[in-house]
Amino acid sequence: MTQSQQYAISQYPDVDDIYRRLDALVRQPMRRVRDEKMQEYLAYFDTKCTRSKKLTDEAKRFIPGGVQHNLAFNHPFPIAIEKAEGAYLWDADGNQYIDFLQAGAPIVLGNNYAPVRQKVIELLQTCGPVTGLFHEYELKLAELVNRFMPAVEMFRMLGSGTESVMAAIRGARVFTGKKKIIKVGGAYHGWSDSMVYGMHIPGTGRMEAKGIPAGASANTQEFYPNNLGALKRKLIFNRLNGGTAAVIVEPVGPESGTRPVPFEFNRKVRQLCDEFGALLIFDEVVTGFRLGMGGAQGYFDIKPDLTIFGKCITGGYPMAGGIGGRAEVMKCFAAGIGGGTGERAYIGGTLSANPLSCVAGYYALLEMERTNAPVIAGQAGDRLTRGLQDIIAHRKLPYVVYNQGSIIHLETSGVMLLDFKNPIRLFKEMKPRKNMIEEMGAAYMANGLITLAGSRMYTSMADTDAVIDDALSRFDNVLSNVEG
Ligand SMILES: Cc1ncc(COP(=O)(O)O)c(C=O)c1O
């Protein structure tokens, strides 16, 4: 890897080979951690995490389920975190963990990075977190995003990725005068009414849409991951049925590349969007700045019409959302009393674009550029992936590991790869395979490793070779105790 490397992905993964191995993984029986060892791992929580248990048990009286974050680990019970620094987290009982959750991806500089924290404190001392009026850091952040991603000619901050996707859909409809929105089956674009559709598992349509009227997603469609023929058929069909306002994709594939895309996929989607007059929306909530300062759009060299931001846009600080893109589309989001001219797509938020979020985002992005954090985090991801691949080969396990820079996938049960192509297997195996990754996640945690749902990891600049090598020996510990 050279000094001039700009993007976190050092080598694009061999997507066909990954699918072959994932397919083989879900065709064979699960290889779980041996029962007696699993009991030992679970005992860790009962003996070493007593304060976490007490706190989260009490929380159940006042907070539904006792936890508020969808990525919090519930098995065997949630852990309360008290301290975060660099590559590590410490729980309420003082146990230390290597943090590969990274809050679900916003952190590329490492936890609680001091230079950004300092800038946030300085701002709070002068202006406080919010005034409801314009602050210079809004301009600074918008200009900076435009420097990194020239396709983002204009930019607006919002409260979350979910809100920003809602805005993009609305703006795309206003701009094109068309109705339908096409997404990739299995992709997560937040929890708005129209996007709780084909979520997590391709082909599931409204399966998760409890409490959402059918009309809310009547103009949402999904196509099977990577099936460009199916996308084209939908675009053709929609021509006579209200037209397609936009196609929205996660550029590395749904669920942060859990089903990775072939390298040329995004370019072909761009061409189809142009052919059918639909806008292309890149959901860069995860990839935005994590893959490099130019985002996935820079890496793949594609110009989306609209880009969704979240997570990294505030460097892990609150109100992480934003939408940007072509000026002529973005103009429909003009705000302020009397600010809108022409057709307006109504969006807003009391705390949106507050000075705290903007200063945090501005300095986090500048620091990421200065330190080359996305590339360093990507190199940590490469080292972790290679090490895990060696362990898996050495122990003759069927598991599949691959990465797109600092996004690492460790598939042990393959649950995320089940779908309606094989409905019998889906219904029979979804629960046990889901249970298995929960067990794996708990086993990793008992060995001092925090992952995302036991199957995904994000690395940061704080993950030095020593941290990764330590993590690998902990993973080896768990993987040496898998059923033969
Ligand atoms: C690709 C993608 N889009 C949108 C969202 C929603 O963002 P938020 O959680 O900020 O609402 C997420 C969240 O994980 C995401 O991964």
Lowest-confidence region among 6-20, 54-68, 153-167, 439-453: 54-68
Query: What is the predicted pLDDT for the residue at 340?
Result: 53
Q: Mean of the pLDDT values across residues 428-440?
A: 93
Q: Indicate the residue type of 328.
A: E
Ligand 1 center to residue 283 CA distance, Å?
A: 8
Nearest CA to ligand 1 atom 8: 161
The Cα 99–Cα 451 span in angstroms is 7
The Cα 292–Cα 290 span in angstroms is 5
- Is residue 180 predicted with pLDDT exceeding 50? yes
- Could you identify the atom of ligand 1 that is nearest to the CA of residue 310? 10
pTM, 2 dp:
0.96
The Cα 128–Cα 120 span in angstroms is 10
Contacts of 42 (CB under 8 A, 6+ apart): 76, 442, 446
For 306-348, write each residue's pLDDT tens digit.
Answer: 999 999 999 999 999 999 999 999 999 987 666 555 688 999 9
The Cα 464–Cα 484 span in angstroms is 33
Token output for 466: 């020593």
pLDDT band at 71 (very low <50, low <70, confident <90, very high): confident
Contacts of 358 (CB under 8 A, 6+ apart): 135, 137, 138, 140, 141, 157, 314
Query: What is the predicted pLDDT for the residue at 2?
Result: 46
Cβ–Cβ under 8 Å, residues 475 and 391:
yes
Q: Mean of the pLDDT values across residues 160-185?
A: 97
Token output for 24: 């083989």
Ligand 1 center to residue 456 CA distance, Å?
A: 15
Query: Cβ < 6 Å from ligand 1: which residues?
Result: 104, 160-162, 165, 188-190, 250, 283, 285-286, 310, 320-321
Cβ–Cβ under 8 Å, residues 417 and 25:
yes
pLDDT band at 4 (very low <50, low <70, confident <90, very high): low
The residue to mutate among 68, 189, 284, 290, having the most atoms of ligand 1 within 8 angstroms of its beta carbon, is 189
Ligand 1 center to residue 479 CA distance, Å?
A: 31
Cβ atoms within 10 Å, residue 68: 10
Query: What is the predicted pLDDT for the residue at 341?
Result: 56
Ligand 1 center to residue 51 CA distance, Å?
A: 31
Radius of gyration of the chain (CA): 22
Helix, strand, coil tally for the chain in percent (to 5) = 45, 15, 40
For residue 285, the SS3 value is coil
The Cα 414–Cα 175 span in angstroms is 40
Mean of the per-residue pLDDT values of the chain: 95
- Could you identify the atom of ligand 1 that is nearest to the CA of residue 162? 11
Token output for 481: 């105790």
Query: What is the predicted pLDDT for the residue at 72?
Result: 78
Token output for 447: 């060995």
Output the CA torsion 467→472→478→481 (10° steps): -150
pLDDT band at 101 (very low <50, low <70, confident <90, very high): very high
pLDDT band at 1 (very low <50, low <70, confident <90, very high): very low
- Is residue 3 predicted with pLDDT exceeding 50? no
Q: How far is CA 237 from CA 25, 240, 345, in A?
A: 36, 6, 26
Nearest CA to ligand 1 atom 4: 189
